[in-house]
A and B are shown apart, each in its own frame.
Chain A
């Protein structure tokens, strides 16, 4: 079976469960994904399925890619990703992978997305440094402070937390619970928040831990 599915984050809301609790959920439009290519142990050295997600107009696709999509004969796609599968033989090129065939309510999943970009940020926002006091003659406000020692080691340690680009990076949120799967609308409701903006591409996979 395929180990994950591609989706689009639609936004957050909440649902009530029978015992009265309310659960924050992120709604993901997951699939249907189309199998475009099979990677097999014999030909490629590993087993995986290349799937396409979200239709793309054919006149926007270049000829080499169109030839690749032709093999599946399900139109062109905006996104192609390889997903691990433990038995590739279950699928044929051109098959549709739907959310209910991969996940059911109660499953624990990891969700990967591209986090919202925050631009170039200082150490207070990026790493949670506490900064200095604002008043009483203080001249140290939001700076990083000392970044190391003197003659020994005479360099800055690798991995030192410094200002820089924050966000817009690949982020995986692990161990989220699937609250509901709606096959007719291709929706998956995941408990809690997931990385990225609304309308962003996300990858839902079976959890690696537990």
Chain B
């Protein structure tokens, strides 16, 4: 195998769940303050997945006190403790940038019901 890909594979995580844009995620982020470490949860809609091997990332958007907040996480980085998929959404785009222009009820995403 190509050495560059091989080194990338070594740095990849094996425990990343399957999700895509439109899914609602709970991202457990490790936060280091001084020498103490705690875990903060960031819950929102995944509006984008950037697939690039070990450099892959995903963007999670939530509306906090009326203010839209987006965070970009590395998919394979150790700063993310765990990603939980809360809801699988039905969307027709790979990148949900249109959500930035929508508010309230219009910004909802329908769930795909699993049988």
Residues on B with C-beta less than 8 A from A20 are 30, 32, 77-79
Tell whether A189 pairs with B7 under 8 Å between CB atoms, given A20-B77, A22-B74: yes
Contact size range, A: 10 to 19
Task: Find out whether the CB atom of A10 lies under 8 angstroms from the CB atom of B4.
Answer: yes
Is B109 an interface residue when CB atoms closer than 8 A count as contact? no
Q: Which of A11-19, A41-49, A89-97, A115-123 contacts B (4 or more CB under 8 A)?
A: A11-19
Closest A residue, CB atoms, query B4: A11
Residues on A with C-beta less than 8 A from B74 are 22
Task: Find out whether the CB atom of A14 lies under 8 angstroms from the CB atom of B79.
Answer: no
Is A5 an interface residue when CB atoms closer than 8 A count as contact? no
Tell whether A13 pairs with B78 under 8 Å between CB atoms, given A27-B3, A187-B3: no
Within 8 A of B (CB), among A1-46: 10-16, 18-20, 22, 25, 27, 29
Task: Find out whether the CB atom of B3 lies under 8 angstroms from the CB atom of A15.
Answer: no
Closest A residue, CB atoms, query B13: A16
Contact size range, B: 10 to 19
Task: Find out whether the CB atom of A15 lies under 8 angstroms from the CB atom of B7.
Answer: yes
Residues on B with C-beta less than 8 A from A187 are 3
Closest B residue, CB atoms, query A19: B32
Interface of A is mostly: strand
Question: Which listed residue, A13, A18, A29, touches B8 by the CB 8 Å rule?
Answer: A13
Residues on B with C-beta less than 8 A from A25 are 7
Task: Find out whether the CB atom of A10 lies under 8 angstroms from the CB atom of B3.
Answer: yes
Residues on A with C-beta less than 8 A from B76 are 16
Residues on A with C-beta less than 8 A from B54 are 13-14
Residues on A with C-beta less than 8 A from B7 are 13, 15, 25, 27, 189
Residues of chain B at the chain A interface (Cβ within 8 Å): 3-4, 7-8, 11, 30, 32, 53-55, 74, 76-79
Task: List 20 additional A-B contacts (Cβ < 8 Å) besides A11-B4, A16-B77, A27-B7.
Answer: A10-B3, A12-B4, A13-B4, A13-B7, A13-B11, A14-B8, A14-B55, A15-B7, A15-B11, A16-B11, A16-B76, A18-B78, A20-B30, A20-B32, A20-B79, A22-B74, A25-B7, A27-B3, A27-B4, A185-B3
